Chain A
């Protein structure tokens, strides 16, 4: 019997290693897998490359991971926010490398990795600082920039419900990067509010099919919030 459910959140992240690339879902705090990150912080691995839309908000989730000094590089679209002080401090101290990617290119590059594409041509960023030095091509009279996929060893995402095969449904705008990060990582780990019996998720409404998800772990609804 296939059961992707993990009884312990610590076990679910037990093989994340020093220097790993880790995608972290969430847009601000919506969809941020706080409990998975807390378990990762407890593991004491470092030198991580984090792929996420932001670079941490406030004191929880990705902000806490950065505060703990575990992150070497952040690939994101919008690091600078009113409450991104832990990133700001590490960045200004020269302790974190930043690769800034326009948000849609971030999504497209993650999706390209999950879809097995070698690269994409995107119009976003053409003629700007963020495309400097990159290959370009004019296609049907329009200019594009060559961008490469972003792969990761792990993805940590938050969904609402899962079954033991790893099928996922999300809640409201907490969905954001979850579905594409699950596709792009070698090991996708989803924390969910509820693991439901196989067959009880409406197959017409499943957002992420279980093929993209390797591990699910249930966290107490409302825990740490």
Chain B
């Protein structure tokens, strides 16, 4: 089957982000989505540390240590961009002003519970950052991740075993093998890569997945 690589997955997520959306991209894999947003769409990228209208990385030598993103990497500001303080930044999330956030995950449950901040391992120093605010604040929370761990366990699960970030907050999961819609009734498969069947996907995840009616 044609498993998506990281770039293809980022491009797949980018396709679903409409013109005019206010979007927060989480640290790591989700940050890559920005590279695939169509240039003919105006999309507002928000960064938790106080900017809207975030642009791409600067040219080498043009970095400004006071113009960074949530991952503390240098970025640029687009014409029309704005700076604001932290309470306003998180009011944008909690207040339901951010249309879409895209986050990575350790696990997501079929009803949309998210675990992405802490492995819970003894001795691990916990850090949460803005993950909990983003997860429950945005109008739609998308997760992008590889469906299986390196050991082959499904990261889409009946019930998360890692500590939760938020309850029933994820509406859609994009993975390298399939796209899922989540809700109170469980997970529905919206899309699969070529060569994958619903039976095989049920076997890989161990979940009673529903299949969405074909579109069109």
Contact = CB atoms under 8 A, between A and B. Distances in A.
Interface of A: 27-31, 53, 57, 77-81, 88, 91-92, 98, 100-108, 110-111, 122-130, 170-180, 207, 225
Contacts of A110: 87
A82 to B, nearest CB: 10
B133 A88 contact: no
Interface residues of B, number: 39
Q: 3 nearest interchain CB pairs?
A: A104-B90, A104-B133, A80-B127
B72 A27 contact: yes
A107 B118 CA distance: 21
B99 interface: no
Nearest to A158: B66
Given A104-B94, A176-B49, A124 B136 contact: yes
16 contacts: A27-B72, A28-B72, A80-B126, A100-B128, A101-B128, A103-B128, A107-B85, A107-B90, A123-B136, A126-B167, A129-B118, A129-B164, A172-B51, A172-B83, A173-B66, A180-B86
A107 B86 CA distance: 6
A30 B80 CA distance: 22
A65 B213 CA distance: 59
B94 A128 contact: no
Contacts of B48: 103
B97 to A, nearest CB: 13
A47 to B, nearest CB: 22
A225 B50 CA distance: 22
Contacts of A177: 85-86
Given A28-B72, A180-B86, A104 B137 contact: yes
Contacts of B152: none
Contacts of A172: 51, 64, 66-67, 77, 83
Contacts of A129: 118, 163-164
Nearest to B136: A123
Contacts of A107: 85-87, 89-90
A175 B68 contact: no
A54 to B, nearest CB: 9
Greatest chain A CB density within 10 A among B64, B72, B128 is at: B128
Nearest to A83: B72
B118 to A, nearest CB: 7
Given A103-B48, A108-B90, A180-B86, 16 more contacts: A27-B50, A29-B65, A30-B66, A79-B127, A103-B128, A103-B130, A104-B93, A105-B132, A106-B86, A107-B87, A123-B137, A126-B136, A127-B164, A127-B167, A130-B132, A172-B51
